[in-house]
Structure 1
Amino acid sequence: MPGTPHPLPTRPEDVPAALAARFNGGDPAALAELYEEGALLAAGPGGAPLTGPALHAANARLQALGLPIEVRPRHVYATGDLALLLVDWLIEGTAPGGGPVRVGGTAADVVRRGPDGHWRYAVDSPFGTAPEGLPEE
């Protein structure tokens, strides 16, 4: 059952924790609020870009595993209303069907401060400079 969403971040360094809290809360709509309109997820097969409903569906598939995501920020580089986040992340455990799951990487993400003062993903690149793509359905 989805829990209360983590507040939207007002500092770029708070984006990874907000992502983990919303991902682990299990509510795809709450997770989707962390992405600006037109955001891009470089996580399709071979790192192909996903946007709109395809982006949110990819995140929802991972959430449906019911496994927590762990995030460990390495660096946050901010200038004005843009920031680059380098974040190690891992989803690991046993899938609902009983098989092992281990997916993770070092993300190279771009977040932007919106007119409301909250930071959201503009580019979510979970595998950084070596996109492997998320597991297929």
Structure 2
Amino acid sequence: MSPVVTDPAQLPVRFQDALNAGDVDGVLALFAPGAGMRTVTGEHITGTAALRAEIGGTVAARGRLTNVSRHALVGADTALLVTAWTLEVDGPDGKRLAPTGTTANIARRDADGGWRFTLLNPLGTA
């Protein structure tokens, strides 16, 4: 998967496809340096090591993500991406869980013309 995404609306699709393929590096390539994320437990993490641990944990739990785009609003080399999601994962007891939510994510256009996530918030406004 190429890390350069020329349409910010494609970022959630690329994220979904890389995660579902178990490609942690592919997911991380979609993030700008120093990017952050609010996890589904409400913790705010930043940096590659923390993002790798979070994404790696989802892959280890056999995560299967489905994203449905709601809005992609672009202005001044910044995009607000609102996406409905379902994430199937193995719970601690081995049972399959399928939490859902709506993200409010921010991306920016870099000097190379590619779009990358700067902040992910899978809990939306919650």
TM-score (norm 1): 0.82
1:8 to 1:96, Cα distance in 2 relative to 1, 3 A: farther
Question: Structure 2 regions of 5+ residues with no counterpart?
Answer: none
For residue 107 of structure 2, the aligned residue among 94, 111, 132 is 111
Tell me how far apart the structure 2 counterparts of residues 50 and 63 of structure 1 sit (CA, whole Å): 17
Instruction: Look up the SS of the partner of 2:13 in the other structure.
Output: helix
The equivalent of 1:50 in structure 2 is 45
Instruction: Look up the SS of the partner of 1:19 in the other structure.
Output: helix
Instruction: Quote how far apart the aligned CAs of 1:13 are.
Output: 1.0
Alignment of 1:33-44 (within 5 A): 33-43=29-39
Preserved contact between residue 44 and residue 50 of structure 1 (Cα < 8 Å): no
For residue 30 of structure 1, the aligned residue among 5, 23, 26 is 26
Tell me how far apart the structure 2 counterparts of residues 39 and 20 of structure 1 sit (CA, whole Å): 18
What is the root-mean-square deviation of aligned Cα atoms in Å? 2.0
Question: Structure 1 regions of 5+ residues with no counterpart?
Answer: 131-137
The equivalent of 2:62 in structure 1 is 66
| Cα distance per residue 1:37-85 (max 9 Å; x no partner) | 010101164x231011112211111122223200001011100210000
TM-score (norm 2): 0.88
Identity %: 32
When the two structures are aligned, how many residues end up with a matched partner?
125
Tell me how far apart the structure 2 counterparts of residues 104 and 129 of structure 1 sit (CA, whole Å): 14
List structure 1 runs of 4+ shifted beyond 4 angstroms. Answer: 93-97
The equivalent of 1:78 in structure 2 is 74
Preserved contact between residue 102 and residue 122 of structure 2 (Cα < 8 Å): yes
